[in-house]
Structure 1
């Protein structure tokens, strides 16, 4: 059986299409693009969203936070898109009302861009006029490296709602047990916090000298490591998991570390990074820096094929370079930009160039930080960054070529977060680094 759409959205080694939006990963992208298509006057039957997942697009960040809370955990339909940006929650009924076809539980295994055709694992084919690739990233698994025992039960990776469901059930089954978190990045920090909230004994293991090394300086990391330790999280740095042992039921019971230590574990959660899912398109589109190369409208080298989110390597206007950005904020905004560009092109018009300010954030325990801009150059730490403080509030500026190019703030108000965002966008000059450290947030308020 074959289906034909004007636009198709492909997601996650699965597809999301209706007009043929092939959403290959972060289902959330498809929801934001679908909303923008609807704003632009989409006609019923033009757009299809194809996804391997069984549910309508949702806000993935909830999975490592509220979804796992011990009390009143978040559940669908509560966090369908587009609530992540304060917009309307798009329930499955919304897509039906707009004439957008949700093709769920459908894995796309072949993409023929020349023939404008997609093939599912079940043998169904989808033809399209315009394809939007939003396949995102897939988790890196320890079994990819041949780690002994990495296939034991209760070793979890978090990417989809099904993963979160399995982890939630294990948390309840292993009440007051021991958990080992492998990795010190986003997933490691957020899940270590939520596992502690569930009263598990938590140990976090990572090879780097401090947590979140891609973004945090040693000074920033020192606060979070001290704060987590105060909350009861044991941190082991400078080593990696090299093996696991299991009990007679096949459930993980020990984690072997490279430094020789052995940790007891009832649950293991692995968060060691991801890879952009571009395999379906290898040799068919131009790639760069690990992603699919696009222009500022997210058009690829193949006519009528667009790529957004994690898989797109796009022109970052602010820094005059090509870059690939892995974060929910860019996923949402790039999807909206592509939808605007597609509809504008049909009318012989153009859209404003995508002018993205890199933005990252996280929430855990009572903490909440935001970062804007680029984390390159020298750094200045300001404020109260003592883990022992009852109300810690601190930040950092990154200075390159005499200008502030990046800004980080923990526990900022909405107005203060807006101020540091403006600093990162404007890139004001800095005459005296010591004075900048002394002024701290007040420097941002003057911009």
Structure 2
């Protein structure tokens, strides 16, 4: 049987795949040149929507409204968009073998395809407590969130266990955003996380105290410190209680776990160089094998602004790294060059009436301003991080688009600051006057 040969192949069907496809089209893609292989049954969509709006009791987000590239203000790309541009979209298709030397891939169904250049965008998956040997972690009623199928299962549980209590394990992005969704659905929630406060990788204790207080005012019970060590089941295998390390037992009809993610590295493992828990790439997302590119969560790339190598798990980087890789591929074909990837770290979240953005690096001394008025519904407050006399990071709650652009500019330009008091007194105006 003659193998089908593609000029370009994208392995993975998440955000990166959708943005890479758009960039290929904008660069002059010809029909039949590109194929995308995705384990999901849906064309690429904006994954953050799942923890922000998909679970809303009213006005919930549904496809096709959040197909990529809706998240960046672009045109949505439903399945027919790929057909119109001559892109073969293989959905519900798992790639089991990717042979970079042979330039071929084999699906779980045994079909084999050849390619000239591959962009690997397999992303990350959630960390399962069952994989760590937590007793009872395989119980029914324990949910994780990564794909639409996961969200649909959680949504069905919310409707089925309307009056039952829920426990959210984890105090990071997923924990905070899904807790807000559960509360909107009138579910009583207890959040459990082992750290001293929520969002420990970003929030200072002072920032965290505001968000924890806000959630508690919404009726959320927060338990900090002890880990979940066991899940008890009833006779049908349904979770009924969560046991903590300190002996506390919490009733639960629904358990949502958000304790981190791990990159999906299996397909390229041992075939290309690795670093920092991902695949080592250059400023164009080319791996150690010339015709193989790795983007998004799995790429360990040069962070030009800080002069080091980093791996970033965030939708903004997923989008931008995919675009950079495709531009680099097309430029090389023409014998041209493009600038190396120059990424400014960016994170954001929305829950309840809250909306914050962060840019830069959260290293050095943190200076929080505006907290004295933070209880007001329209209040703005934020934090700057100072290192070596320069502002290297900026966080803002409740900012307008213009104000958020201002803090991004501060983090990018890293202006000098004379003292901590200067930032405390200036507050947001320090950013808006740069």
The alignment's TM-score, normalised by the length of structure 1, stands at: 0.95
Q: Does structure 1 retain, via aligned residues, the 8 Å contact 2:140–2:238?
A: yes
1:299 aligns with 2:286: yes
Cα shift readout 1:254-296 (whole Å, capped 9, x = no counterpart):
1111110000001000000011111221111000000000000
The correspondence of residues 113-262 of structure 1 with structure 2, limited to 5 A, is 113-262=100-249
- Looking at structure 2, the residues matched to 126 and 385 of structure 1 have their Cα atoms a distance apart, in angstroms, of 61
How far residue 352 of structure 1 moved from its aligned partner, in angstroms, is: 1.7
Q: Does structure 2 retain, via aligned residues, the 8 Å contact 1:227–1:387?
A: no
Match of 2:37 among 50, 62, 66: 50
Q: Does structure 2 retain, via aligned residues, the 8 Å contact 1:294–1:312?
A: yes
1:425 aligns with 2:412: yes
1:10 aligns with 2:11: yes
Cα shift readout 1:85-105 (whole Å, capped 9, x = no counterpart):
000001111100100010010
The correspondence of residues 303-314 of structure 1 with structure 2, limited to 5 A, is 303-314=290-301
1:436 aligns with 2:432: no
Range moving further from structure 2, 111-120 or 397-406: 111-120
- Looking at structure 2, the residues matched to 153 and 127 of structure 1 have their Cα atoms a distance apart, in angstroms, of 41
Cα shift readout 1:347-392 (whole Å, capped 9, x = no counterpart):
1111122111100000000000000000000010001366643333
**Over 2 Å off, 4+ runs:** 384-392
How far residue 220 of structure 1 moved from its aligned partner, in angstroms, is: 0.5
- Looking at structure 2, the residues matched to 425 and 387 of structure 1 have their Cα atoms a distance apart, in angstroms, of 26
State the match for 1:106 in structure 2: 93
- Looking at structure 2, the residues matched to 55 and 244 of structure 1 have their Cα atoms a distance apart, in angstroms, of 33
Q: Does structure 2 retain, via aligned residues, the 8 Å contact 1:223–1:386?
A: no
How far residue 72 of structure 1 moved from its aligned partner, in angstroms, is: 2.2
1:401 aligns with 2:388: yes
Cα shift readout 1:26-60 (whole Å, capped 9, x = no counterpart):
x1111101001000000000000000001100000
State the match for 1:332 in structure 2: 319
- Looking at structure 2, the residues matched to 41 and 280 of structure 1 have their Cα atoms a distance apart, in angstroms, of 29
- Looking at structure 2, the residues matched to 437 and 240 of structure 1 have their Cα atoms a distance apart, in angstroms, of 36
State the match for 1:371 in structure 2: 358
The alignment's C-alpha RMSD in Å is 1.0
Question: SS at the partner of 2:114?
Answer: strand
- Looking at structure 2, the residues matched to 241 and 177 of structure 1 have their Cα atoms a distance apart, in angstroms, of 19
- Looking at structure 1, the residues matched to 419 and 387 of structure 2 have their Cα atoms a distance apart, in angstroms, of 13
State the match for 1:19 in structure 2: none
1:39 aligns with 2:26: yes
- Looking at structure 1, the residues matched to 269 and 27 of structure 2 have their Cα atoms a distance apart, in angstroms, of 32
Structure 1, gaps ≥5 residues long: 12-22
Q: Does structure 1 retain, via aligned residues, the 8 Å contact 2:374–2:380?
A: no
Question: SS at the partner of 2:37?
Answer: strand
The alignment's TM-score, normalised by the length of structure 2, stands at: 0.98
Question: SS at the partner of 1:60?
Answer: coil
State the match for 1:18 in structure 2: none
How far residue 249 of structure 1 moved from its aligned partner, in angstroms, is: 2.2
Question: SS at the partner of 1:444?
Answer: helix
Q: Does structure 2 retain, via aligned residues, the 8 Å contact 1:395–1:408?
A: yes
Question: SS at the partner of 1:422?
Answer: helix
- Looking at structure 2, the residues matched to 373 and 161 of structure 1 have their Cα atoms a distance apart, in angstroms, of 31
- Looking at structure 1, the residues matched to 419 and 168 of structure 2 have their Cα atoms a distance apart, in angstroms, of 41
Cα shift readout 1:329-351 (whole Å, capped 9, x = no counterpart):
00000001111111111111111
- Looking at structure 1, the residues matched to 223 and 128 of structure 2 have their Cα atoms a distance apart, in angstroms, of 20
- Looking at structure 2, the residues matched to 349 and 365 of structure 1 have their Cα atoms a distance apart, in angstroms, of 47
State the match for 2:47 in structure 1: 60
